Amino acid sequence: MSSDAAPSRDFIRKIIDEDLASGKHKEVVTRFPPEPNGYLHIGHAKSICLNFGLALEFPNSRCHMRFDDTNPSKEEEEYVQSILADVQWLGFDWGEHLYFASDYFDQLYEYAEHLIQTGKAYVCDLTPDEIREYRGTLTAPGKESPYRDRTVEENLDLFRRMRAGEFPDGSRVLRAKIDMASGNINLRDPVLYRILRASHHRTGDRWCLYPMYDYTHPISDALEGITHSLCTLEFEDHRPLYDWTLDHLPVPCHPRQIEFARLNLAYTVVSKRKLIKLVQHGHVSGWDDPRMPTISGIRRRGYTPEAIRAFCERIGLAKNDSIVDMALLEYCIREDLNERAPRAMAVLQPLKVVITNYPAGKTEELTAQNHPQQPEMGQRTVPFSREIYIEQDDFMEQPPKKFFRLAPGREVRLRYAYFIKCEEVVKDASGKVVELCCTYDPATIGGAAPDGRKVKGTIHWVSAAHAVAAEVRLYDRLFTKENPDDAEEGKDFRDYLNPESLITLTGCMVEPSLANSAPEQGYQFERQGYFCADRRDSRPGHLVFNRTVTLRDSWEKTKEK
């Protein structure tokens, strides 16, 4: 392999390398700054892995966990808890560095007065509609507010009275005095503070005016000594305002904002606004529905932190708008689970098989490997008896070419058990196959034929008398369209929901060792895929397994030919 080839470094790491080499910085300090207004999703995972990953890569570095909680009308404590839990679950640690933008409200306020005092900010009485009108359009410059030239004294007085609660919500704002004719709309005297009587999850009713993101973010970064402030592309236009803010305030340092492309995943949506809509309209069971691209959903589905981190490394980092193929995510979880998941046998759609020459009432405990490549994972015992279940798909009355499984007169191997041969097919009145009568070869115990006889197929099975019933949930992509955001006229992303994204199978039969499987423990159900017991709904006596991902299936492909 290319073990000698240095892995290519992304543009952000190159910038950091230079800053370290030039002595601009001695360590790197990043931050992950979510707004607590929803659950984290796979797109956030990219940012988390980047920011916390950087802190781990560079000496003496750290990553701050910071909530951007400047809009109490949308934010909730439930979200901060879920976000913290998700970041931790992903495997990252902010140590002592947990912050809230709301911790800086006092400092932010003082800085605002400083801006007023230096003539860089003013109180504006225009209504929201008027502000929009005065802002101009993308192609036409805006015009200056009639309140733009108030005296420092008047501005200070008004701003203090805004804080004191003398004016109703929305009646006045504090604006930066920059340039109403700028081609960059963010620079057309952006609003810095608005009056908003909403109870804040941390500061309660202490404030009735709240700072805006564009004002809060650069200052929070500077106060924390952030060196590199990484955000997504849509904030590129905001960078001049980020810099303006820090240039006009006596802040301790001036972090560099760098933007990268957000992650988009095919056949799903990655936007809190849309995800919350799916939850609120009942299209999914909740934020942690296993079909959701949320961290908690993916987790419940059976993905591991290791797989998600590997995925985030593999997708790369650049400024191209991109839609990553779901196949990469699936590759990452298969790679991880193939290595670590114990194997087990589970029959999802049972077909009864009676082994006519096997003694009734007899039970054998056969030995099975927990992992074919890793003997250290040990062995277990699987009961075998006269009546077993096999997968309906593993039998065909009229098998096509290259079908290696069971068919009339054909012999296959029951994994870890015996060779059996199909002697008779039992059907019901409608002609549906309901049972198979087979014979077994006692000499093939364990699955090896002493006479060297070969069989093409090996199938999984479970002893009917010992099987444990389970419910199994098969998940598929949530949307039928690769980019649901790209909706046709008159439609929205929800018109592309996949009606078969969840198929619930009941009456599945699993081997007895699975009876007490712990939630989130990943298993490979041999020949089928990776599954885990649902952390919400599964319990002993009522097993519920989620299919995390299928195994690669080359038979599916040859079958189609």
Binding to RNA, residues 463-522 (CB under 7 A)? none
Element (H, E) at 152: helix 152-163
Residue 35 among the catalytic residues = yes
Contact call for residue 379 and RNA (CB under 7 A): no
Burial bucket for residue 224 (CB in 10 Å: 0-12, 13-18, 19+): buried
Residue whose token pair is 């001695």: 26
Residue 60: helix, strand or coil by DSSP? coil
Contact call for residue 378 and RNA (CB under 7 A): no
Of 135-143, 199-207, 430-438, 468-476, the window that binds RNA (rule: CB under 7 A) is: 135-143
In the complex, least distance from residue 121 CB atom to RNA, rounded to whole angstroms:
14
Spell out the alpha helix ranges (H) of 226-271.
Answer: 239-247
Residue 222: helix, strand or coil by DSSP? helix
Task: List binders of RNA among 258-287 (CB under 7 A).
Answer: 261, 266
Contact residue for RNA among 146, 170, 375, 378 (CB under 7 A): 170
What single-letter amino acid sits at 124?
C
Of 20-28, 152-160, 192-200, 493-501, the window that binds RNA (rule: CB under 7 A) is: 192-200
Contact call for residue 17 and RNA (CB under 7 A): no
Contact call for residue 524 and RNA (CB under 7 A): yes
In the complex, least distance from residue 276 CB atom to RNA, rounded to whole angstroms:
12
Contact residue for RNA among 3, 60, 139, 430 (CB under 7 A): 139
In the complex, least distance from residue 558 CB atom to RNA, rounded to whole angstroms:
6
Contact residue for RNA among 61, 71, 463, 517 (CB under 7 A): 71
In terms of Cα–Cα distance, which of 395, 414, 393, 391 is closest to 406? 395
Contact call for residue 28 and RNA (CB under 7 A): no
How many chain residues interact with RNA (CB under 7 A)? Answer: 94
Q: x/- binding map, residues 422-451, to RNA, per CB under 7 A?
A: ------------------------xxx---
Nearer to RNA, 214 or 534 (CB): 214
Residue 31 among the catalytic residues = no
Contact call for residue 340 and RNA (CB under 7 A): no
Instruction: Tell me the torsion sign for CA atoms 382, 384, 387, 390.
Output: positive
Task: List binders of RNA among 74-93 (CB under 7 A).
Answer: 74
Show the tokens assigned to 242.
């980020």
Residue 471 among the catalytic residues = no
Nearer to RNA, 259 or 289 (CB): 259
Contact residue for RNA among 191, 208, 276, 377 (CB under 7 A): 191
Contact call for residue 173 and RNA (CB under 7 A): yes
φ, ψ of residue 347 to 5 degrees: the values are: -105, 115
Contact residue for RNA among 3, 4, 5, 96 (CB under 7 A): 5
In the complex, least distance from residue 9 CB atom to RNA, rounded to whole angstroms:
6
Nearer to RNA, 198 or 505 (CB): 198
DSSP state at residue 393: G
Q: β-strand 256-260 against 228-232: which pairing, if any?
A: parallel
Nearer to RNA, 281 or 557 (CB): 557
Element (H, E) at 419: strand 419-427
Spell out the alpha helix ranges (H) of 172-247.
Answer: 213-224, 239-247
**Marked catalytic residue, from 31, 35, 527, 547:** 35
Show the tokens assigned to 245.
């803010």
Residue whose token pair is 């009456």: 507
- How distant, in Å, are the alpha carbons of 409, 415, 423, 439 from that of 418? 16, 7, 15, 10
**How far is Cα 515 from Cα 512, in angstroms, rounded to an integer?**
5
In the complex, least distance from residue 81 CB atom to RNA, rounded to whole angstroms:
18
Residue whose token pair is 């909730």: 76
**Marked catalytic residue, from 13, 66, 272, 415:** 272
**How far is Cα 104 from Cα 97, in angstroms, rounded to an integer?**
14
Nearer to RNA, 26 or 314 (CB): 314
**Marked catalytic residue, from 148, 262, 277, 421:** 262
Contact call for residue 334 and RNA (CB under 7 A): yes
Contact residue for RNA among 356, 392, 521, 558 (CB under 7 A): 558
Of 76-84, 207-215, 301-309, 471-479, the window that binds RNA (rule: CB under 7 A) is: 207-215
Contact call for residue 201 and RNA (CB under 7 A): no
In the complex, least distance from residue 182 CB atom to RNA, rounded to whole angstroms:
7
Contact call for residue 56 and RNA (CB under 7 A): no
Task: List binders of RNA among 386-425 (CB under 7 A).
Answer: 402-405, 413, 415-416
In the complex, least distance from residue 375 CB atom to RNA, rounded to whole angstroms:
12
Check if the beta carbon of residue 390 is closer than 8 Å to that of residue 458: no
In the complex, least distance from residue 16 CB atom to RNA, rounded to whole angstroms:
14
In the complex, least distance from residue 183 CB atom to RNA, rounded to whole angstroms:
3
Element (H, E) at 176: strand 173-176
Strand intervals (E) in 428-491:
433-441, 458-459, 461-463, 468-475
Contact call for residue 318 and RNA (CB under 7 A): yes
**How far is Cα 442 from Cα 358, in angstroms, rounded to an integer?**
9
In terms of Cα–Cα distance, which of 226, 217, 251 is closest to 51? 226
In the complex, least distance from residue 541 CB atom to RNA, rounded to whole angstroms:
27
Task: List binders of RNA among 148-167 (CB under 7 A).
Answer: none
Give, in degrees to the nearest 5, the angle at Cα 258 between 253 and 264: 145
Concatenate the DSSP letters of all residues of 17-56 into one string: HHHHHTTS-SS-EEEE---SSS--BHHHHHHHHHHHHHHH
Number of Cβ atoms within 10 Å of the Cβ of 476: 15
Number of Cβ atoms within 10 Å of the Cβ of 356: 13
Catalytically active residues, by annotation: 35, 262, 272
